Structures are given as C-alpha cells and as structure tokens.
Structure 1
Amino acid sequence: MSIARPASPGRLPLFALLGFASGLPLVMFSTVLALRLQAAGAALVVIGFFAWVQLLPSAKFLWAPLLDRYDVPGFARCWGRRRGWILLALLGIATALAGLGMSDPRDLRLTAGYAVLLAFWTTTLDIAVDAWRIEQAPTPEAQGPIAAANLWGYRSAMVAAGSGALLLADRGGWGIAYLVVAGGALLPFPLIAMMKGEGRRTVALLTGLLASAAILTVVGLVAGAITWGVVAAGSAGGIGAATNVTPYVLLACMLPFVAMAIALPRIRRAGPTSRLRTSLALGPYVEFFRRYDHVAIVLLAFVSLYRMGDVLALNLSKPMIRSLGYSLTQIGLADSHVAFAATIAGIGAGGWIAARWSPGRGLAMGALFAAIGNLGFVWLAHRPPVEAWLYLATAADQFGNAMAAAVFVVYLSLLVDPRFAGAQYAFLSGFAFLLPRLLAGAGGGMVVAIGYDGFFLLSALLSLAAILFVPFVVRPKPAL
C-alpha cells in the first residue's frame, strides 16, 4: 500500500467529522451508561466495574497490526485500506449503539456485551483514523492542524452526546437517545462513500456491505461469548457489589512494567531477521523498544500517568453530580453549550501551545489545567445544587482536559516510527489509558471508602504528578 499524500486544508473538515464519529460512542459506554445503570438501581461499585469496558481501547495494539496489513473486502478496492476500515468501523458502532439502546440495563451480561462491542468498533475506528491522519500529516507543522481538527470533532461529539443523550433520555427514554446517537455516528459514512476511488463505487459499496455484515456477526458472537465468560468467572470468584478490588488493581498496574523490564534485554539482542522483529503481531512494538531502549519504560510510565485524572473522573463525575440533586436535564444543559465552548477553547489553546511552545512547557501546562478541572468537582461537592456552580465546574473540567488532550496527541504522534504509524500509535495511545482505566474500575470502591471529594482530589494529584516526568521525556533520543 502506498503512503497517502499530505492532507490538503479541504480534508480538515472530514477529519473533524471522523473525530466526531469517534467521540460520540465514548460517552455512551462511559458516562451516559453510568447514569443509565444508576437509574436502573445498579450499585456504585458495579457501575465502577463497567469502567473496565474502557480497557478494550488500551488493548488496541493487539489488533492494530491487522489494520496495517489486511483490507476490508469491497470497501478497500475502491477507497483504500484506511478508509475501508473506517467504513466498517462506522457500521459496527451504529449497530452496537442500537443494540445497547434496546437492551435492558438490569441484564448486566447483555448490557456489558453490547458495551464491549461498542468499545471494540470505536477503537477500531480510532486506529484507522489515527493511521490515516499520521500518513496524511508526517511533519509537526502539518500534524498540528489536522490533529486539532480531529480533536475538535472528538471533544465536540463527547459534549453533544453527553448533553443530547441526557436531554433525549429525560424526554423520550434511553432507547431513543441511543438510536439518535447511532445515526450521528454514521454521518461520515456517506461522505467517504462519495469520495473518488478506483473502480465502480456501487459494486464496491454493495460488496463491502455484505462483507461487513458477515464480519459484524462473527465479531458479535465472539464478543458475546467472551463477555459472558468473564462475567460468569467474576461471579464464581465472588466479585460483587461489596468487593474491594483496589489492592488487586494496583498490583495489576505494576505487571506491565515488570514484563517490559524482563523483555528488554532480549529485544536488544534481536537481530534484523529475528522473529521478534519480523512478526506482524510483535514487530512494530519491538522496534519501538529497540528505538528508545530503556527510555521506553520511562516514556510509557509518563503516558500512562498523564491522562490519569481525566480518565478517573470520566465514569463517576456524572453519578456524583446526580447525587448532589441535579436533574438529567440540568446535567445535559451543562454538557451542551458550556462544555462545548470550553472544549473548543481548550483544544484551540492546546493546539496553539503544541505548535509554538516547547514540548516540556506545553505538557506541563496541560497537566496543570487538567488537575484544576478535577479540583472543580471537589469544590462542587461542597456547594448547594445551583446551576451556575455546575456550569463553572463543567467548564473547568472540559477546558483543562481538552487542552491536555491536544498537547498529548501531538506529543504521541511525534514519538512513532512512520513505518509503523498505525500500530505504534495504537500501542502508545492504548497504553496511555491502560492503567487509568484499570484504576477507574475500582473507582466505585474508592468513593465508598474516601468519598467523592477525596476521589477527585486524588485524581487531581495524579495529574500533577505527571509534571515530574516531563524533564525526562520531553525530547527522547532514539537509541538506534
């Protein structure tokens, strides 16, 4: 497959719309699903467990190499490999959203199964879009605008889905809310299908739709079997609403770093023809460790900590606000115009900082404002339920996290080897959320132990801790 030519300014709206399609489902299997489960009477600890669905994006490196190597039948012949996977993923997202909206949230196994499917296809879309974005913009000057456009769409969608779904749910029910969001996620599909390609578009579209139906069915069956097995194993192991899983989660967070330290000497010794370096599944990641050597472990520790506060707050911020006495409509309104304006401003500020400031100053500023956003929830927990206070806390949270996200995306994009753009970016961005999402699954138990204000104070301190790493990761020099 040939490398695509750099993106023209006319492609920026498309990348913004693709970001929009990626951002819509995220809140539907995180914050919105948490509120839906709360409304159905699920215990706070169980709601916290559902944050582990978000671990799937952190494991995207497992199937990202497949997107670098294989085509989607039909779609790829006309529109190419990257856009072919994008079209398939969009169909998967819409299907999973519809299923999640129609399922009964009291059936935790079925709800978890659809949530896992939604997370899988959302992640697949992210892999394909990120790879296409990196190929289209190989320099820092080109990467800044295209990354900002993608993030504007992404964060705007989180705002639109977070607010719109709650307003619709308050008026027409949860099923209607999920179906409307499913329609919104499909918006890029006709635009890509109308783009100029090779061969007959109608034949490619029909062939691609038939192939997609088969792929979606197989993936759905596999995801359902895995989900039911995991839930059954957890129940058999005594994991329930009263289980404190925090110590086990903290232990699990250490395992990836132990494994990397053990594997690094062997990676150093691997020659050019070694299976480690030529393997489709492992090669791109082995090359990352060979490129940065021992600094790779420091880099991964930093990226796993940088977005910690944002991820910990994601699942439980809305249940906390609801518990303070705010209605779904009030939360939805705060998540609409207030959050949208703050998000746009935060991404704009982050994109400007990434382009003009030194990487170290930009990363530190992003972490600082992300921490301020988390402290806003601590402040809100001690205020009466006044909409103005809710708007202020929401604005601080959205601005800080959007700024940090913009700086962070550019930083990660410049760490990857262009030869393995899709796989290595998937690995870095996935690992960045692995440990935070592991801890987020124990968030319900943490809140029970230390309260909402203690939980959000802890998340803010973890965001600030990332600043300590900045001097060591700001300009990592490749070892090879």
Structure 2
Amino acid sequence: MTQETKAVEGWRSTSRNLLDRRVISMLFLGFSAGIPLLLIFSSLSLWLREAGVERNEVTFFSWAALAYSFKFVWAPLIDKLPLPFLTRWLGRRRGWMLTAQLGIIGAILLMSAVDPAGDADSLVRMALAAVLLGFSAATQDIVIDAFRIESAPPRLQALMSSTYIAGYRVGMVASGAGALILASSFGSEAGSYSYAAWQSTYHIMASVMLIGVFTTLFVHEPETSAARAHAYPTSEYLRLTGTFIVVACAFVAAFFLSDGLFTQLKALAGDGNLTNFLLELLHLASAVGAAVLAGWSMVQAGAINRSTARETWIEPVLDFFSRYGLKTALLILALVGLYRISDIVLGVISNVFYQDIGFTKPQIATAVKTFGVFVSIAGGLLGGLLASRYGVMRILLLGAALSSAAQLTFVALALVGPNLLMLYIAVGADNLVAGLASAAFVAFLSSLTSVSFTAVQYAIFSSLMTLLPKLLGGYSGSIVDGIGYPGFFVFTCVIGIPVIGLVWLAGRKLSIDGQARAKT
C-alpha cells in the first residue's frame, strides 16, 4: 500500500468516526449545554429592559452566571454523592446529568412565571430563579465533561470535543437569537412590552431542553464511572454536603463583602490597568482563602471526617501534581490559563469595536451571530478531524500560532474602517481559528484528567482556562482608551505569542496517548 493510499484510508477512518453514536450523542448534549447561558445574559437582559427595569439593575443579573466560573468548588460532590433512585437506575453520570437538566427546565419555568414589570418582589424572584438556572447549568457542564471523557477511548476524544462545541454553538444561537425572534414574533418589542410573549418564549426554551433529557436517557453509562462508584454511609454524605454549603457561603460572602475594600484600593492605586488587574487577582485569592479556611475549620471541628475531606477536595489536586511533577504541572497550568488569552480578551470588546468604527447593528448581527457561528462550527469539526489524524499537540500548536496571527486581521479592519468585506474576513478568520483551537484544546484538557477524578480535574481546568483572560479582558476598554484599537489588537497578538512557546515546551514534556503523561 502506497503512502498516498495509507493517507486516504486514514482520512476515511477518521471521517467514519464522526458517525460513531458516542460522537453524535455529544452534538445533542452540547446543544443542551448551550441553551442556558444566554437565557441568563443577553435574552434575559433584553426582557428586563423591555419590562422597564433600570440598566444598573439589569447588569446585576449577570452575577447569576458566576457558577460557571466557580463550578470546580462543588465538582468533587458530583464525583462522590449518589442520588437516591437515579444513581441505581441510570448510573452516577447520567443520574446527575438528568438531575441538572430537570433543574434547568424547572428554573426556566420559574423565570417564565415572573413578570419583571410587576411588584418590587418580582425582581427578587427572577434573580433567585436565574441563580438556580446558573447553578443547574454549571452542574450539567461538570457532568457532561466527565461523561464525555469517560465514555469513549482517546482516539475519539478530539471528535467528541468538536461535535460538543458544534452543538453548544447551535444551542447558544437557539437561546440567543432564537429567543429574541420568538419574543418579537409573539408581540414584545421595545416600547411595546408583552409579558405573555416572553413567557411563551421561555416555555419553548424549557421544552427545547428535552433534547438533552432524551439524549441522557438513551446513552449508555460509562463503564469507568460504574466501576468507580463510591459507597459511604448516608450520614457521611450529609456531612459532606453540609461542609460544601458552608465553604460555598464563605467564598461568596468573602468575595462580595470585600468588594468595597478592593474598590477603594483601586481608587487609591489610580487608573493603572496592571495594578487593578493584580488587585482583582488578590480579591479572588482572598475569597478562595476564606473558603479554604472555612473548610479547614469544619474539619478541625469534626463536622466532616478528615479522610473524606482529603479524598474529596485534596486528592484530585495532589493526584495531578504527583502524576506530572511540580515543574511539568506548573507548565501545564500556565498553558491552560493562557492558551485562549488572545481571542477571549479580544472577544470582550469586539462588538463595541464593530459599532465604534461604523457598522450597523444588523451588519454586526449577520456577520457575528450568523456567519461567525457557522464558521466556528466548521472550525471545530476541522480541528477535531485534524487532531484525530495528526495528534492533539500538533493542532494545539497550530491553533496557538493562528490565534495570535488572526488578531492582525482586526488591525487591518481598524485601519480601513467600516469595510463589509474586511469585517467578514476578520470575523471568519477569528471564528475559524477559535473553533479549530478550541476542539484541540478541549481534547488536550480531557487527556490531562485522571480517571479517578474526572469531574473535579476537568472543572478546575475549564475554570482556569477563562479566569485570567476574563480578568484581563475587563480592562480592554481602558487599554483601547490608552493606545487605540490598532494598538490594542497588536497587543492581543503579542500576548498570544508566548503561548506558542508554552505549547512547544509542553509537547516536549508530555506524551499524549489517550491520557497525557509526563515523559520519563
């Protein structure tokens, strides 16, 4: 068989894997995961504004999505706690998945039952329902990530990541643009608010979640999940849950109660972006410290068994460092925290940029929300195919290089102004590369997890992935004010260059063969 024939057969084999039922199931689970987020952000924001809610009150509702950033806090419980009846019926992963999906449906229905234009308590009820939606959606993400990693061999992980991302994007379109179209068609517009229109829209969004429910019922429980089922006395599970509640409350209380102090520190420090960024990190670290102190105090007081606490929260972290060693583990964490820094920092201000240089809202919506989404889906599928064919690390390196280079198309757009062709080139390049890089990156993160702590470790990685870029992205407006848009996009290009070096170093340290392992 010639080399060319082998290559063709290799591509055919990779393409056939796209039809594997496990790969296809991730398309529908990805769709289920993509539905909730925009029902908290853009769609809910527009609903509240049409109902006459003040803009500053509308922005508070974004806090309901904080669960996505801190899901690693309760991910250990997903690995430990069985659910009455559901765990025996469906298994550990599917039982939790169904519970999260029913929680999402219930939260959406609760939101639909509240008219934000009603009495003063209506916003409180809406906020509580939105918090429940954010918590349930983040829990679903934890379980789906663990289910994806455990349900298929390494050769399918890249393709499963790409179909998951494709489904997620479609779900976001359905709950974003789809929800707005539905509300408009039912008769709610700015200046002509209709509660019934939004109520019907959210009812439909709740029913759409049944796609995820039916998928959960028809897929198979991963064998590794069943083999690792834990058995503790009921009292121990109750103590574990109580400890988590105390730790979570300590984190939230410390974060919000110290907000005033850190705001004053920022004011004293002046307008320095770097100083403010470091203070934000310190703010977050102080809340994490308060949570750790609360957990330690609970253990010292005997509220939870020491060995249970260690196995739940400490061993997943120790396992990661013991498998890779301190130097390699720190290298991996740096790569995880910085890999998507260029496109996330740019994405924070991209829509403002399009509007500032003269594009209309319909032009932006068509280019970004329609064309960009489909290009990103194509990029994700391409990334999955390439990673399956040529290996995750090679495509990870390609994605890092292209992500940095794609920023230069925005420099060109900033210089030429509102040129529609250039807009589509920039949006297309950005979304194609982001899709390709994301598929390889998710497969890479999946390979890093230990089968003993899948949910916990992946939750930590996925939270770390967006934490630093989002914190830095919060200062993108100030950076633009200082150096202008062309300079800002050169900056986003430059900060992506060190990532290429991190991927290269990681490629030398790691051997990706199903699960990443430190070279010996």
Pair 1:156-2:170 in alignment: yes
- The equivalent residue for 2:311 is 279
Q: 1:225 to 1:144 in 2, by over 3 A?
A: closer
Query: Once the two structures are superposed, what CA deviation does each residue of 1:247-301 show, in whole Å capped at 9, x if it has no partner?
Result: 2323554897xx99xxxxxxxxxxxxx9599521111111111111221111101
Which aligned pairs between 1:459-478 and structure 2 lie closer than 5 A? 459-474=492-507, 475-476=509-510, 477-478=517-518
Candidates 404, 407, 419, aligned match of 1:371: 404
Q: Once the 2 structures are TM-superposed, how far is the Cα of residue 359 of structure 1 from its aligned partner?
A: 3.9
Distance 1:157 1:145, change over 3 A: same
Match of 2:336 in 1: 303
How far is the alpha carbon of 1:87 from its aligned partner?
1.6
8 Å Cα contact 1:147/1:406 also seen in 2:
yes
Residue 190 in structure 1 maps to residue 214 in structure 2: yes
Determine the structure 1 residue equivalent to 2:468: 435
Q: CA, structure 1 residues 83+231, in 2 after alignment: closer, same or farther (shift >3 Å)?
A: same
Q: Give CA-to-partner distance per residue, 1:423-479, whole Å, 9 cap, x none.
A: 222222222222122223344444444445544443333233210112221242438
Counterparts in 2 of 1:381 and 1:117: CA distance versus 1, 3 Å:
farther
1:94-173 mapped onto 2 (5 Å cutoff): 94-97=105-108, 116-137=131-152, 139-165=153-179, 167-168=181-182, 173=188
- Within a 5 Å distance, the mapping from 1:315-354 to structure 2 comes to 315-354=348-387
Alignment of 1:11 onto 2:51:
no
2:322 corresponds to which of 290, 298, 316? 290
Distance 1:53 1:245 in 2: 29
Partner of 2:447: 414
1:90 aligns with 2:90: no
Report the CA distance between 1:135 and its aligned residue.
Answer: 1.2
Alpha carbons 1:163, 1:334 under 8 Å: kept? no
CA contact (8 A) 1:417 1:424 kept: yes
* Cα distance per residue 1:358-402 (max 9 Å; x no partner): 444311211233234444444444455455444333222221111
In structure 2, the partner of 1:234 is 259
Give how far 1:173 is off.
Answer: 4.7
Q: Would the alpha carbon gap of residues 414 and 238 (structure 1) be closer, same or farther in structure 2, given more than 3 Å must change?
A: closer
Q: Distance in 2 between matches of 1:22 and 1:342?
A: 20
Matched residue type, 2:491:
L
Q: Distance in 2 between matches of 1:361 and 1:161?
A: 34
TM-score, length-normalised on structure 2?
A: 0.68
Aligned residues between the structures: 435
Displacement after TM superposition at 1:405 (Å): 0.5
Letter in 2 for 1:280: T
Which of 52, 71, 76 in structure 2 is aligned with 1:60?
71
Give the secondary structure class of the aligned counterpart of 2:452: helix
Aligned counterparts of 1:36 and 1:451: Cα–Cα separation in 2: 33
Deviation of 1:316 (Å): 2.9
Q: Secondary structure at the match of 1:187?
A: helix
Structure-2 residue corresponding to 1:205: none
Q: SS at 1:281's partner residue?
A: helix
- Matched with 1:249 is 277
Instruction: Give identity over the alignment, percent.
Output: 34
State which drifts further: 338-347 or 7-16: 7-16
8 A Cα contact 2:22 2:151, kept in partner: no
Q: Aligned in 2, Cα 1:164/1:461: closer, same or farther, shift over 3 Å?
A: farther
Match of 2:81 among 52, 56, 70: 70
Structure 1 residues 382 and 41: alpha-carbon distance in aligned structure 2, compared to 1, 3 A threshold: farther
Q: Which amino acid aligns with 1:422?
A: A
Letter in 2 for 1:92: G
Q: Offset at 1:324?
A: 4.5
Q: Please identify, of 308-317 and 26-35, the stretch whose mean Cα deviation from structure 2 is larger.
A: 26-35
Preserved CA contact (<8 Å) 1:249 1:438:
yes
Deviates more, 1:318-327 or 1:278-287: 318-327
Give the aligned CA root-mean-square deviation in angstroms. 4.5
Shift of 1:17: 0.8
| Contact residue 75 and residue 84 of structure 1 kept, 8 A | yes
Give the secondary-structure state (helix, strand or coil) at the position aligned to 1:419.
Answer: coil
Alpha-carbon separation, structure 2, partners of 1:98 and 1:64: 25
Whether contact under 8 Å (2:165, 2:377) holds in the other structure is no
The alpha carbon displacement at 1:62 in A equals: 1.5
Contact 1:113–1:228 under 8 Å retained in 2:
no
CA distance in 1, matches of 2:500, 2:209: 35
Q: Are the structure 2 counterparts of residues 468 and 194 from structure 1 closer, same or farther at C-alpha, using a change threshold of 3 Å?
A: closer
Judging changes above 3 Å, is the alpha-carbon distance between structure 1 residues 161 and 421 closer, same or farther for their aligned structure 2 residues? same
Highest RCO, 1 vs 2 (Cα 8 Å, sep ≥ 6): 1
* SS of equivalent residue, structure 2 residue 313: coil
